[in-house]
């Protein structure tokens, strides 16, 4: 068994580092853009007078970074070749995301809003697999040109993990257009955490079109233009880590034509679940890299700091907690890479049946680990670690959300338990 990274992947990482040093770090250094990353970061990024939304200048900087990465050939790496990517797969993406997050906080990779010089494109993959030819032509091209932005409307105020019980409904309704009757759907309901709604052109909106509450079938997805009458942002929900682009949105008698349907009628949840495993393994790799950064920075500081005339690192009270975290980082890295590699060896539908427990293990443990590592880094660094002059509080506040949002750790532990006890998976009995 060979645990060495492929030569091509190692070369890619070197080229990526070179690009960051030559193009992205200078961009971060100019025009006082450091304000978005140093102790001023939360205030520099957040327009507190405009609902806590991201400041336009912050989002403009992120866009410029993405455009530079796209021109250099890095931004679309994960996409299929027909969309300008290299289809690098889950193992390569896991290694890259771990590598970038381990560098710490910077314009090259700031996952507060899923920003990275190597993009993740779940919606584009969904469009490729489930979209009509017209939807593919319009939305894939639009997203890659930074013209079209699609947010995700699944979670509701009263329903999070229990998506099959959603209250949003869509009913068939024909309206009269300039050229005669037009078949369509009228939608009523409310959604939460529709991230990016403030700049989105469309919302991938999930609504029940048939069946009963609790049924997996009977839920349909619609691509709803955000300027459709009846679509209203009710409030932006302030979070642990600001700025916020997570609103509660109401949909009141929102009508869309039949061609707005995304995927098969009644099979919307299958669409929603289509990219969950790729997202979870990649997000786990990012949390792993951030955890490694926290450990490494703590070790470095403990060797430099000399209270009472002796290195802080001499104390076992400092050593042992960091030893435990470093051990977990190493073990988890191997499991993430093994799982990602196995995902690449099988057709996508097989992942759910054979590997979803391992993906969940990686995800929930990585998210828990990075929170523990950031907390320990604060403790090792003392007062300065607790301050905003170090990035640990930012890392903690950001990654803490993933213990809830990417499938709560309780939901993922239930999946692991179902495989472990034989209720699901290849050993089902």
Average pLDDT, the chain: 94
pLDDT (0 to 100) of residue 325: 98
Secondary-structure class of domain 275-420 per CATH: mainly alpha
The angle at the Cα of 270, spanning 250 to 280, to the nearest 5 degrees, equals 90
Using a pLDDT cut of 90, give the percent of the chain over it: 86
- Rounded distance between C-alpha atoms, residue 161 and residue 248, angstroms: 16
The residues facing 235 across adjacent strands are 248
- Rounded distance between C-alpha atoms, residue 320 and residue 327, angstroms: 10
| Confidence band of 362 (pLDDT split at 50, 70, 90) | very high
Q: Which residues contact 311 (CB under 8 A, 6 or more apart)?
A: 302, 303, 304, 305
pLDDT digits (tens, 9 = 90+) for 93-108: 999 999 999 999 999 9
- Rounded distance between C-alpha atoms, residue 388 and residue 279, angstroms: 29
| Confidence band of 176 (pLDDT split at 50, 70, 90) | confident
Secondary-structure class of domain 150-266 per CATH: mainly beta
pLDDT (0 to 100) of residue 407: 86
Output DSSP code: residue 244: -
- Rounded distance between C-alpha atoms, residue 135 and residue 222, angstroms: 11
Q: Where in the chain is the domain with CATH 1.20.140.10?
A: 275-420
pLDDT digits (tens, 9 = 90+) for 199-217: 999 999 999 999 999 898 9
Residue 80: strand, helix, or coil: coil
Burial 249-275 (b: 16+ CB within 10 A, else e): bbbeebbbeeebbbbebbbbbbbbebb
Q: Where in the chain is the domain with CATH 2.40.110.10?
A: 150-266
Above 80 in pLDDT, residue 1? no
pLDDT (0 to 100) of residue 271: 85
Q: Which residues contact 159 (CB under 8 A, 6 or more apart)?
A: 165, 166, 167
| Confidence band of 258 (pLDDT split at 50, 70, 90) | very high
If 0-12 CB within 10 Å is exposed, 13-18 middle and 19+ buried, where does residue 279 land? middle
Number of neighbours of residue 196 by Cβ within 10 angstroms: 17
Residues present in the chain in total = 429
Higher pLDDT, 276 or 67: 67
pLDDT (0 to 100) of residue 112: 82
| Confidence band of 192 (pLDDT split at 50, 70, 90) | very high
pLDDT (0 to 100) of residue 95: 98
**Average pLDDT estimate for 160-187:** 91
pLDDT (0 to 100) of residue 355: 95
Above 80 in pLDDT, residue 240? yes
pLDDT (0 to 100) of residue 108: 97
pTM of the model: 0.94
**Closest by alpha carbon to 122, among 228, 196, 185, 62?**
196
Above 90 in pLDDT, residue 270? no
Higher pLDDT, 326 or 426: 326
**Average pLDDT estimate for 379-398:** 96
């Amino acid at each position: 068994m060979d645990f060495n990274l492929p030569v091509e992947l190692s070369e890619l990482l070197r080229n990526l580092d070179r690009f960051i040093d030559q193009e992205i770090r200078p961009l971060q250094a100019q025009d006082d853009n450091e304000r978005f990353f140093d102790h001023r970061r939360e205030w520099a990024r957040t327009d507190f007078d405009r609902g806590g939304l991201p400041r336009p200048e912050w989002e403009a900087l992120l866009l410029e970074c993405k455009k530079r990465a796209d021109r250099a050939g890095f931004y679309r790496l994960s996409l299929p070749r027909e969309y300008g990517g290299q289809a690098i797969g889950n193992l390569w993406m896991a290694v890259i995301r771990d590598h970038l997050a381990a560098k710490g906080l910077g314009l090259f990779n700031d996952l507060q809003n899923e920003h990275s010089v190597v993009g993740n494109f779940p919606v584009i993959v969904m469009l490729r697999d489930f979209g009509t030819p017209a939807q593919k032509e319009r939305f894939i091209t639009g997203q890659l040109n930074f013209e079209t932005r699609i947010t995700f409307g699944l979670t509701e105020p009263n329903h999070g993990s229990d998506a099959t019980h959603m209250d949003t409904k869509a009913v068939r309704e024909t309206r009269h257009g300039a050229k005669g009757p037009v078949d369509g759907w009228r939608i009523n309901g409310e959604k939460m955490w529709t991230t990016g709604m403030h700049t989105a052109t469309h919302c991938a909106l999930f609504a029940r079109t048939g069946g009963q509450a609790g049924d997996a079938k009977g839920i349909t997805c619609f691509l709803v233009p955000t300027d459709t009458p009846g679509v209203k942002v009710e409030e932006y929900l302030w979070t642990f880590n600001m700025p916020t682009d997570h609103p509660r949105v109401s949909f009141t008698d929102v009508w869309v034509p039949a061609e707005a349907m995304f995927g098969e009628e009644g099979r919307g949840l299958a669409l929603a679940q289509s990219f969950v495993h790729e997202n979870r393994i990649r997000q786990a790799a990012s949390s792993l890299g951030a955890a490694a950064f926290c450990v490494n920075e703590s070790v470095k500081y403990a060797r430099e700091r000399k209270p009472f005339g002796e290195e802080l690192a001499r104390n076992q009270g400092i050593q042992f907690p960091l030893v435990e975290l470093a051990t977990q980082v190493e073990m988890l890295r191997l499991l993430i890479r093994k799982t990602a590699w196995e995902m690449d060896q099988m057709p996508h539908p097989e992942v759910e049946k054979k590997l979803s427990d391992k993906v969940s293990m990686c995800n929930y443990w990585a998210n828990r680990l990075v929170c523990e590592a950031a907390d320990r880094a604060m403790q090792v660094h003392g007062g300065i670690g607790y301050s905003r002059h170090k990035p640990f509080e930012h890392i903690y506040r950001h990654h803490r959300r993933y213990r809830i949002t990417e499938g709560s750790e309780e939901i993922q532990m239930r999946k692991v338990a179902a495989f472990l006890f034989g209720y699901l998976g290849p050993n089902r009995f």
